[in-house]
Amino acid sequence: MDFDSALTVVGEFGRYQRKRFFLISLSALPMFFQMLVLVFTAATPKWVCPKGDRANLKHCKSLESCCSVDGSICNGAEFITNFTSIATEWNLLCGQTYKNELTQSIFMAGTLVGAPLIGGLADKHGRKPLWVSTYFLSGALAFLSGLSPSYYVFVTLRFFVGIFAGGGGLIIFVLATESIGPSYRGFAGTMLQVFFAIAVALLGLMAYLIPNWRYLTIASALPTTFGFFIVKTIPESPRWLATQGRYDEAEAILSKISVENGSGNKHVTLRREKGTAKGGSTGRSYGIIDLFLNRSTCVITLIMIISWFVNSHVYYGLSLNVKNLGGNMYFNFVLAGLVEIPSYVLTVLLLNWSGRRKSLFYFMMGAAGSCWACMKLQQQENLNAGAQSVAAMFGKFCISASFAVLYVYAAELFPTVIRNVGMGMATVASRIGGILCPFVVLMGEQSRSLPMFIFACMSLVAGLVGLRLPETKGRPMPETMEDLERSKQEDVKVIKT
């Protein structure tokens, strides 16, 4: 029998899978922290020039914050907030302010490298060894970045943290969902996104309690030690083992799943694919180029690239608006995370009710409509800030939900033999979207409504092209390229009928 059929025999989401899913998801928190911690550690707090030090100065935004004629900071600065950042320690103000933003760009560049590189290695050498190595390396380097003696050492370390956190986060999702049956895979994939939202809220609380950037950076890395207690309890993905021709090992794990789930000691025999040999399902390894050699995978990959790029672009664009809502910075940050949780709950319901394709379409249209509403509100002479905030929050609600759908959808669309490579390509597109987003937001200085117009149009396009994807609800995950072709043919028959 195929792997998904075997899971229906031993239990699709029993005690064994629930326990390990929870442990893997919990272990992801420190990696999620690294994706967000620079919001605080690289922030530019409010500051004033010392009294009596305003001669030969040009004013920036107020009489208090000022820079010298050559763009350098005045002779010292007095910060009027109690938290520290790399900006306060290394005086990254005035002409040096760009370095604070550059830190996040360099980190994201690391995720660009890590996602396809580590994803490809995980497809060739296994999920667990790459998960363990990236998990501990990202934590160790994040810890060391909190001890950095200079700005350049700090950004170098953050680049490598980006490589391992970006690639490791991808593997966590794959490892957490590959042993779960098709009936519960959508639920599990969405619940993993809830842990990301929890990480946002926890990080906001941590930043409030730990206003020192060095201590906060170190604190964000310390939970990595949790991994020492769970490494032995997390096995290699039996689905991956089966694609490598290691059927005995995969069947042994399935037997353990059966026992712990209370299904009895059932022994299942997995289908032996022709040409399967140890080390590869077809005697060869797959790489990025294979995503485009087959028409089905090429179409899926291109649509996934568009969808992930747009989702990341719009998500971070709306997140920037959340930061500018005014009020307490920490409260706004926590709220930005908590608002995502109900969106994930709705995602679970929609995934099981209307499927992946329609859910993605609905949420993308919701995001497009929200951004369009924001644009119209910004064009009014009497700006209604409250209405704009409501529209922006609903837009973030929808785009967060569509992101959750994409994670589940992509994992189910790409065959096991090339799943991490495909997910890696999608993640690269996502990171590029996040990097380019600030440039679109800057267009708001010329036309306040232009960024929202762009976000609305991009969401509309992504929602429409997503309708070309095959539906995966309730279907076995493809393990080989041939499985994908069969799945596509079945989808065409369903559409015709």
Of 247 and 161, the one with more pLDDT: 161
Q: Which two tokens stand for residue 100?
A: 């604070």
Dihedral of alpha carbons 142, 144, 150, 153, sign: negative
pLDDT score recorded for residue 323: 56
Dihedral, CA atoms, 198, 200, 203, 205, nearest 10 degrees?
A: -70
User: pTM here?
Assistant: 0.78
Is it the case that residue 94 has pLDDT exceeding 90? Answer: no
Is it the case that residue 47 has pLDDT exceeding 60? Answer: yes
Q: Tell me whether strands 57-59 and 66-68 are parallel, antiparallel or unpaired.
A: antiparallel
Average pLDDT of the residues of the chain: 83
Q: Which two tokens stand for residue 257?
A: 């799943």
pLDDT score recorded for residue 445: 58
Dihedral, CA atoms, 243, 244, 247, 250, nearest 10 degrees?
A: -70
Lowest mean pLDDT among 50-59, 189-198, 462-471: 50-59
**What would the 3-class secondary structure string for 176-240 be?**
HHCCCCHHHHHHHHHHHHHHHHHHHHHHHHHHHHCCCHHHHHHHHHHHHHHHHHCHHHCCCCHHH
Is it the case that residue 310 has pLDDT exceeding 50? Answer: yes
Q: Residue 277: helix, strand or coil by DSSP?
A: strand
pLDDT score recorded for residue 66: 60
Confidence of residue 60 (pLDDT cuts 50, 70, 90): very low
Q: Which residue has the tokens 């550059």?
A: 102
Of 470 and 43, the one with more pLDDT: 470
Dihedral, CA atoms, 402, 405, 407, 412, nearest 10 degrees?
A: -150
Confidence of residue 75 (pLDDT cuts 50, 70, 90): low
Is it the case that residue 39 has pLDDT exceeding 70? Answer: yes
Q: Write the DSSP symbol of residue 50.
A: P
Query: What pLDDT, in 10s, does the model give residues 340-376?
Result: 889 988 888 888 888 899 999 999 999 999 999 988 8
Exposure letters 2-23 (e unless 16+ CB within 10 A, then b)? ebbebbebbbbbbebbbebbeb
Q: Tell me whether strands 66-68 and 78-79 are parallel, antiparallel or unpaired.
A: unpaired
Of 268 and 306, the one with more pLDDT: 306
Q: What percent of the chain has pLDDT over 90?
A: 33
pLDDT score recorded for residue 146: 96
Residue 255 has a CB neighbour count (10 Å cut-off) of 17
